[in-house]
Structure 1
Amino acid sequence: MKTFPKPLTAREERECLERYQEGDQEARATLIERNMRLVAHVAKKYQNTDYDMEDLLSVGTIGLIKAVNTFHTDRGSRLATYAAKCVENEILMLLRANKKYSKEVSLFEPIGVDKDGETVSLVDVIEMENKEALETIILSQDIKELYDAFDHCLRDTEKKVIGMRYGLYGGKEHTQREIADMLGISRSYVSRIEKKSIEKLRMEFEKNNKKSGIIK
């Protein structure tokens, strides 16, 4: 699967949007191409369904194209936030055709209306508190994947060391010396376990992202 280019910066996005609004189709193509990584991130959330990533990416791309075609700069948010909503809605339409996923919940589904009568979704509420809402959503997804890798990639001793070292699952962070004393092993051994465990987690995380085409 191809590797997607990096997203546009806020300035680059604004310039492309302005050019597209003036009829520049090359700018439109750039907006679509440079947001494909976003499509992959959203689609990755549903990669364990009955649909493979190629199908999810294809459907998600339709949502992205719709977003680029209908986005207005006066919305007060980045194109990516609006596009994420369109991409996920398009994928959920596909999944809901399968009754097995009829109750799938989306961050972008309406949860009420604002004072102007406009529908409000959970991600809109998040964005009110954090203008980098999309990045926060993707980071939360990445953290979940790292925890999943922690659970099935590491041995018991490795889990203990990494869990105590970084305060996972709400625990307290400890120094290598403190961990060594608690486990009755040398600090250098703790360091080796930590280094090996982090490499395992990194490889697992990158493997998952390769499957989604997000990184090489």
Structure 2
Amino acid sequence: MPIQTLSVRDHVRRTITERILAGVYQPGDRLIELQIARELGTSQGSVREALRELEASRIVETAPHRGTRVRTVSPQEMRESYLVRGLLEEAAAPMAAKAFKGNAEQLWNECDTIIACAERGELSEQAAHNAAFHRMIVAASGNGVLLRLWDTLAFETRTRVQLSRPKADPVGDAKTHRPIAKALENGDGKLAGRLLREHAEFFAPPADAPQSESA
């Protein structure tokens, strides 16, 4: 029975997160437990548990007399999340390189998908596969603590309500993943780590950037 409850909670949490990333729920929108429970055909308790986990990950926030709402991420916080993510990925790279050396087919497939999405102008899909590419690297390190820390930042770096970046080049941006994949395939964790950190630093938006919808 506890396993079943956990499975339902995880499903609810993933669904709410994906709706936020897809822009169905916008920053500031109130998330009503009963309404979500009816939509998903589950109990209000399962929704409440899922929202508590999302609050712990700082995806939503709860305030007295206002209920639970989607968090509005400030430009400064967005920038900081990118920089921290880069450091986490740099730490994961040496261990991930051992796993990917001569065996990086899945990584290359994800890399090619990112580029294909960019070429088709599917920016939301590009953002999702970009997150999958980076998460795959951290997961390959085998370090559960690094992965959990990375997961708490993933929302803020994947969200569709992104910060504007001057002269954005989705296809060019997508291709920057190739050198990272190559370094990992060659087992060069030090190079891969440096590339991952520089990648995050490059895409970290300026703290004073205006918010706009992007990927």
TM-score normalised by the chain length of structure 2: 0.26
Larger radius of gyration: 1
